[in-house]
Amino acid sequence: MSTIDELFTNLRAAGRKALMPFITAGDPDLEFTARVLAEVVGRGCHLCEVGIPYSDPIADGPVIQASYTRALEKHVRLEQILEMLGGVIPKLTAPVVTMASYAIISRRDEEQYVDAVAKAGVAGIIAPDLPVEESAPLAKICAKRDISLIQLVTPTTPRERTLRIAETSTGFLYYVSVTGITGERKELPAELVDNVAWLREQTALPICIGFGISDPEHVRMLAPVADGLIVGSAIVRRIAAAADEPREAVLKNIGNYVSTLLSELSVA
């Protein structure tokens, strides 16, 4: 059983749902990334997604794209990110997964990439641009090292293909809530709950919903049908303030924000 499998087994047994913040590695610097990880986990978040900056991000909206650009302008490298994660993950009580374009993974070599993230203590890999038809080799490598390979389903994914993705994913299934890019939204699609409810009947794999989730109302809407909720742009936007504001104040703001979402999640 992988670390992520164990987490969701325990959460389900307790009747609880997971909150997973997304954090861009290296924005504004890796030292602050480590501090944000410690802050959100200390507030009670159940797992964390760390974005590996890439010059041509897949499906990321302007907030996350800008954070990637800022990190790349400071020449943040994969090796530095993994070194940072290797130092902070052993101190956390929540698993960490990486979101990285498959171009980054293949450039390094699949086996070498998985070995490197495993050495850093990473529990799972998300490669949003890796088609399910081409995922078997990476899935095999991940399975040997108890690393989850988390794959994405979108609202436009045909149901037959959705089932194939669910069958080949491990850890959890990442359900993209909207057609489009990441970013905070006031409203989510009305059919989202029904779509996830259908998927829940097709697979025992935990389902985590991401894209657009940013306020307590979204938590109240989605927690009944999801195993976890992923919050990205709302947190990345708050992190961006560290360029101009005192870092302690920014950390407190981020912590208070996730605490608000967690309070809604605990009663959902």
Q: Is the backbone peptide bond immediately before 28 cis, with ω within 30 degrees of 0?
A: yes
Least confident stretch, 62-66, 134-138, 161-165, 179-183: 179-183
- Look up 49 and say whether it is catalytic: yes
> Any idea where the domains of the chain sit in the sequence?
3-267
- Say if residue 236's pLDDT is above 90: yes
Task: Catalytic residue, from 5, 27, 60, 110: name it.
Answer: 60
- At 190, the pLDDT band (50, 70, 90 cuts) reads low
pTM: 0.93
**Which superfamily does CATH assign the domain made up of 3-267 to?**
Aldolase class I (3.20.20.70)
State the catalytic residue, choosing from 27, 39, 49, 110. Answer: 49
Predicted local confidence at residue 81, as pLDDT: 98
Residue 80 has pLDDT above 60, yes or no: yes
Half-sphere exposure of 104 (CA within 13 A, CB side): 25
How far is Cα 61 from Cα 83, in angstroms, rounded to an integer?
27
**81-136: pLDDT as tens digits:** 999 999 999 999 999 999 999 999 999 999 999 999 999 999 999 999 999 999 99
Q: Residue 200's closest CA among 226, 229, 162?
A: 226
Looking at the predicted structure, is the pLDDT value of residue 186 above 60? no
pLDDT tens per residue, range 22-65: 999 999 999 999 999 999 999 999 999 999 999 876 656 678 88
Taking the C-alpha atoms of residue 248 and residue 254, their distance in angstroms, rounded to an integer, is 10
Helix (H) or strand (E) holding 256: helix 247-267
Name the residue with higher pLDDT: 240 or 182. 240
Question: Quick one: average pLDDT of 6-17?
Answer: 95
Give the sheet arrangement for strand 18-24, strand by strand: 148-150, 124-126, 96-99, 48-51, 18-24, 228-231, 207-210, 173-176, 152-153
Buried b (16+ CB within 10 A) or exposed e, 184-208: bbeebeeebbebbeebbeebebbbb
Query: Is-catalytic flag, 111?
Result: no
